[in-house]
Amino acid sequence: MSDFQKEIIRQINETLYRQIAKEEIEKKDQTLSDMLFYALGMDSDGTVHAGGKRIRPLICCLTCGAISGSHEPALLPGTVLEMFHNFTLIHDDIEDSGETRHGQPAVWKKWGSALSLNAGDMLFALTYKTLHEISGRSKTGSEISVFDQMVTDLIMGQHLDISFEKRQSITEEEYLTMISGKTVALIKGSFTLGAIAAEANQSTIAELEKVGEKIGLAFQMQDDYLGIWGDSNHLGKSVSTDITGKKKSLPIQYAMNHDASFNKEWQEYNGDPERVGYFADRLREIGADSYTRNQWERAMSEASKKMKSFSFNEKYGNELNELIGTLAGRNK
């Protein structure tokens, strides 16, 4: 990551902290305040001690800068994306029984499910409060409708993801429908809100949405790969739950649809953590790892090709392309 991107992330973190701190939640309940900052990878004074790479707000800011020459109008929309993203992670970890996040215990492991669900809801409420703040200053007010669609798409995608766990098998088309909500919606929204912040025309916004769709697809396919063969220490989250939770991720549904013996074994599997390594090896034998990698690389290639059609600000455009390239090559 370049120094320029690191500086934007520093500004994102400052804006994020400011939006939470101004609510003065600690005056009513210190625990809830601590939970919100913890979920965002911060201490109560704004010091960042853990947390994700702020990929979504960074995409938003770089997209805005690539069009307008400045990322500053996208700092608040980027904060909206990051707050909403972390709301989904709090709930996702409870739903998936994921015990670690950002290299530390998941919120629910530290405070329990009930309080954690409530903290996630508070983060969601603050997300919309910030969104209305943005919309009040906006020329078009289109941020709310874009965000509304993103939220409904994401929730539907998460519903399908959980529901598929009880299905014996799914088709690749069903899988793509699911991730179009679960992951694509938020990545696409990052490009869209960045373009809106830059006051781009509708044609440019529409084309950038297509880029976001391709990157979102690739990002989830890559996450599916890393969710089985990734390094938990590097990723900062549990990597066994895709198998123990019997997720219908791309490698697993590919194997189920291409190998009858695996399908039988998978149907009989009871989620025993001791067999995670065995199933990871079986999936490799079937070719699920290479198929998944090929699919995400193709989607990323299509996104990169489309990016070349834009007349971007050189500095921001180069940084945005560099970020996309980094996402394409996330380490195990």
- Annotate 141-189 with DSSP letters as a single string: -HHHHHHHHHHHHHHHHHHHHHHHTTSS---HHHHHHHHHHHTHHHHHH
Integer Cα distance of 21 and 102 in angstroms: 21
Instruction: Answer yes or no: are the C-beta atoms of 238 and 100 closer than 8 Å.
Output: yes
Nearest of 31, 52, 56 to residue 41 by alpha carbon: 52
* CATH number of residue 81's parent domain: 1.10.600.10
Domain count, the chain: 1
Whether residue 316 is predicted with pLDDT greater than 80 in this model: the reply is yes
Indicate whether 29 belongs to any domain: yes
Integer Cα distance of 172 and 96 in angstroms: 22
Using 50, 70 and 90 to split pLDDT, how confident is the model at 332? very low
So what's the pLDDT on residue 182?
Answer: 84
Indicate whether 93 belongs to any domain: yes
Indicate whether 37 belongs to any domain: yes
Indicate whether 103 belongs to any domain: yes
Element (H, E) at 229: helix 202-229
Could you tell me the pTM of the whole model? 0.89
- Dig out the tokens for 275 from the structure: 């067999």
Neighbours of 316 (CB within 10 A): 23
So what's the pLDDT on residue 162?
Answer: 87
Whether residue 237 is predicted with pLDDT greater than 60 in this model: the reply is no
Indicate whether 332 belongs to any domain: no
Integer Cα distance of 134 and 304 in angstroms: 30
Domain membership of residue 288 as a residue range: 3-236+243-324
Indicate whether 330 belongs to any domain: no
Indicate the average pLDDT of the chain: 91
Indicate whether 202 belongs to any domain: yes
